[in-house]
Amino acid sequence: MSINYNEKIPNNVDLSSDRRLQRALEGWQPEYLKWWGGLGPEKSNDLNVYLRTAISVEKDGWAHFDYVRMPDYRWGIFLTPSDSDRTIDFGIHKGQPAWQEVPGEYRSELRRLIVTQGDTEPASVEQQRQLGRTCPSLYDLRNLFQINVEEGRHLWSMVYLLQAYFGRDGREEAEEMLERHSGDPDKPRILEAFNEETPDWLSYFMFTYFTDRDGKFQLASLAESGFDPLARSCRFMLTEEAHHMFVGETGIGRVVQRSCDLMNEHKIRSSAAEDGVRKYGGIDLQTIQKYLNFHFSVSVDLFGQELSTNAATYYNTGIKGRFNESKINDDHLLHDSTYSVLELKGNQILNVDVPALNAVNERLRDDYIFDCDLGVRRWNKIIADSGIDFQLKLPHRAFHRGIGQFSEIQSDPQGNIITQLEWERLHHEWLPTQEDKEYIQSLMQPVTEPGKIAGWIVPPKSKINRLPFEFEFVKFN
Instruction: Residue 350: count other Cβ atoms within 10 Å of its Cβ.
Output: 11
Cα angle for residues 271, 273, 276 (degrees, 5° grid) = 55
Give the end-to-end CA distance of the chain in Å, rounded to a whole number.
33
Collect all residues with Cβ–Cβ distance below 8 Å to 55 and sequence separation of at least 6: 10, 61, 62, 64, 74, 76
Q: Is 154 in the site for Fe ion (CB under 5 A)?
A: yes
Which member of 93, 129, 213, 244 binds Fe ion (CB under 5 A)?
A: 244
Minimum Å gap between C-beta 104 and Fe ion is 28
DSSP assignment, residue 146? H
Which is closer to another protein, CB of 27 or CB of 468?
A: 27
3-state DSSP: the chain helix, strand, coil percent, rounded to 5?
55, 10, 40
442 binds, among Fe ion, another protein, none (CB under 5 to 8 A by kind): none
101 binds, among another protein, Fe ion, none (CB under 5 to 8 A by kind): another protein
CA-based torsion, 463, 466, 469, 471: positive or negative = negative
Q: Is 464 in contact with 50 (CB distance < 8 Å)?
A: yes
Minimum Å gap between C-beta 243 and Fe ion is 8
Which is closer to another protein, CB of 225 or CB of 259?
A: 225
244 binds, among Fe ion, another protein, none (CB under 5 to 8 A by kind): Fe ion
Which is closer to another protein, CB of 72 or CB of 169?
A: 169
Pairwise CA distance, residues 273 & 133, whole Å: 26
Collect all residues with Cβ–Cβ distance below 8 Å to 217 and sequence separation of at least 6: 303, 323, 364, 367, 368, 371
Closest CA to 48 of 75, 70, 18: 70
Q: Is 338 in contact with 354 (CB distance < 8 Å)?
A: yes
165 binds, among Fe ion, another protein, none (CB under 5 to 8 A by kind): another protein
Pairwise CA distance, residues 258 & 212, whole Å: 24
Interaction with Fe ion in 265-284: which residues (CB under 5 A)?
Answer: none
Which member of 140, 200, 212, 366 binds Fe ion (CB under 5 A)?
A: 212
Task: With contacts defined by CB under 5 A, name the span among 41-49, 209-217, 264-272, 402-410 that binds Fe ion.
Answer: 209-217
436 binds, among Fe ion, another protein, none (CB under 5 to 8 A by kind): none
Minimum Å gap between C-beta 458 and another protein is 53
Which is closer to Fe ion, CB of 136 or CB of 215?
A: 215
Minimum Å gap between C-beta 213 and Fe ion is 9
Q: What is the dihedral of CA 346, 351, 352, 358, to 10 degrees?
A: 110
Interaction with Fe ion in 357-386: which residues (CB under 5 A)?
Answer: none
Minimum Å gap between C-beta 166 and another protein is 8
**Interface contacts to another protein, rule CB under 8 A:** 19-20, 23, 101-108, 165-168
105 binds, among Fe ion, another protein, none (CB under 5 to 8 A by kind): another protein
212 binds, among another protein, Fe ion, none (CB under 5 to 8 A by kind): Fe ion
Q: Is 325 in the site for Fe ion (CB under 5 A)?
A: no
DSSP assignment, residue 394? P
Q: Is 109 in contact with 311 (CB distance < 8 Å)?
A: no
Which is closer to another protein, CB of 11 or CB of 271?
A: 11
Task: With contacts defined by CB under 5 A, name the span among 48-56, 120-128, 132-140, 403-411 that binds Fe ion.
Answer: 120-128
Alpha helices in 128-211 (DSSP H): 138-165, 167-179, 201-206
Q: Is 213 in the site for Fe ion (CB under 5 A)?
A: no
Pairwise CA distance, residues 345 & 343, whole Å: 6
Task: With contacts defined by CB under 5 A, name the span among 113-121, 255-263, 321-329, 412-420 that binds Fe ion.
Answer: 113-121
- Residues forming the site for Fe ion (CB under 5 A): 121, 151, 154, 212, 215, 241, 244
